Amino acid sequence: MTLGVIGLADVEAAASRIAGRVLRTPAIVSDSVSRATGAEVVLKLENLQVTGSFKERGAANRLALLTPAERAAGVIAMSAGNHAQAVARHASLLGIAATIVMPLFTPATKVTRTASWGARVVMQGETLAEAASHARGLAAAEGLVFVHPYDDPGIMAGQGTLALELLADRPDLDVLLIPVGGGGMLAGCAVAAAALKPSISIVGVEVAAYASLAQRLAGQPVEVGGPTIAEGIAVADIGEAPLAAIRAHVADTVVVPERAVEEAIALLVEGGKVVAEGAGATGVAALLAFPERFAGRRVGIPICGGNIDARILANVLLRNLLRDGRLLRLHLDIPDRPGVLADIAGRIGNRGGNIIDVSHHRLFAAPSVQAAELEVIVEARDAAHAASIIGALEESYVVRRV
């Protein structure tokens, strides 16, 4: 590996180097995702790695490449999550001192998990860029080896082992859909896949708020930013070393909307019984956003991470239930007289609906002292069932779905 250029031999060497240190994750056909998208979908379950993401591969390979002097000096990395945990874990396994610089906004659970591997955690910077700058300053001051999360040939080769395993298990794949942040995974997988199966189509997937690769490939200035549930790929720009490999081997990139990522998370949990974080579900989001493009093809997708906050996962699932019509939030203007609430509950119950929550406002919200406002949350089987419940209520009341 020189000047950031890697080949199949580097990826194969990385696979030998990390064997036994990183889980060889299963590749499974997902019937639920396949039926929902019209493609034959094979999921590579990187969420099953010890630290919950594919980042284990690159970290294990890069640290294994350190010289004895570098091991003695120690390493430093900057990350708000998965790379931090991966470097901390593999440094611990090799007996190497590790320092991890994490931005101040990093969730406490990720800080705790990183520290649990014995790393020194330094909280610094309001942004990832500020944290990275501090990490490089510490590296220079303390003589530490900086382990970049993606712009490093050792990292890229390690991430490429994912594609080696996937194509060994499923050599019949037509397409690989690979999420893109800094580009290390896409670059490594593209190098390996293109060498093993030149006919395969390799497609990068970005989330709309952070579409730096699509902009770079189109010759446009990079403008990214904004909130996204796919924070694992919310990177300011693609790495220069990955970009060179991507230009050589990647057929195209697609950009998915935020809503498709949420829907993909819900589909994986409910249908596939697979927990994925936003970045980890982005490949499936591409199938949901562009089904006609991949229909009838055999598509391989890495579920590249499963580290999603429990509260965020719960919110995603509830939002998806609302979108699907399986959870109804209804506002009713009702007369303030005895028996009305019982009548409404009866109409919902007779249609098979399940009342989850009721909020009844009489004193201040209603326009008249003889009226009241009712908000009720109801569970339904599907959109058609929801429509029948609303219809029963509309026979006697003014109903607004909110």
Q: DSSP character for 50? A: T
DSSP states of 336-374 = -STTHHHHHHHHHHHTT-EEEEEEEE-SSSSSSTTEEEE
CB 173 within 8 A of CB 226: no
pLDDT of 130 higher than 90: no
pLDDT of 121 higher than 50: yes
Residue 298 C-alpha from the chain's centroid: 21
pLDDT of 368 higher than 70: no
Strand, coil or helix: what is 232? helix
Amino acid 2: pLDDT: 45
Residue range 96-113: average pLDDT?
88
Amino acid 262: pLDDT: 98
pLDDT of 202 higher than 50: yes
Q: What angle do CA 218, 185, 190 make, to 5 degrees?
A: 70
**Higher local confidence (pLDDT), 107 or 290:** 290
Amino acid 3: pLDDT: 44
- The pLDDT-based confidence of 224 (bands split at 50, 70, 90) is very high
pLDDT of 177 higher than 50: yes
Residue range 125-148: average pLDDT?
92
pLDDT of 109 higher than 80: no
Domains assigned to the chain: 8-53+155-318 (3.40.50.1100), 55-146 (3.40.50.1100), 325-401 (3.30.70.260)
pLDDT of 306 higher than 60: yes
d(CA 369, CA 335): 9
- The pLDDT-based confidence of 81 (bands split at 50, 70, 90) is confident
Q: Would the pTM count as exceeding 0.85? A: yes
Residue range 366-395: average pLDDT?
88
Amino acid 362: pLDDT: 64
Task: Determine what percent of the chain is predicted with pLDDT higher than 90.
Answer: 86
pLDDT of 78 higher than 70: yes
pLDDT of 219 higher than 90: yes
* Burial track 328-367 (b if 16+ CB lie within 10 A, e otherwise): bebebbbeeeeebeeebeebbeebebeeeeeeeeeeeebe
Please provide the average confidence, as pLDDT, over all residues in the chain. 94
Amino acid 5: pLDDT: 77
* Burial track 109-128 (b if 16+ CB lie within 10 A, e otherwise): ebbebbbebebebbebbeeb
Tens-place pLDDT, residues 55-77 = 999 999 999 999 999 999 999 99
Q: Which of 105, 106, 25 has its CA nearest to residue 304?
A: 25
d(CA 343, CA 345): 5
pLDDT of 287 higher than 70: yes
Helix 55-64 / helix 82-94 crossing angle, nearest 10 deg: 40
pLDDT of 379 higher than 90: yes
DSSP states of 283-318 = HHHHHHH-HHHHTTSEEEEE--B----HHHHHHHHH
Amino acid 402: pLDDT: 86
Q: What residue type is 384 in one-letter code?
A: A
d(CA 163, CA 185): 9
For the CA atoms of 246, 175, 264, 54, the dihedral, rounded to the nearest 10 degrees, stands at -50
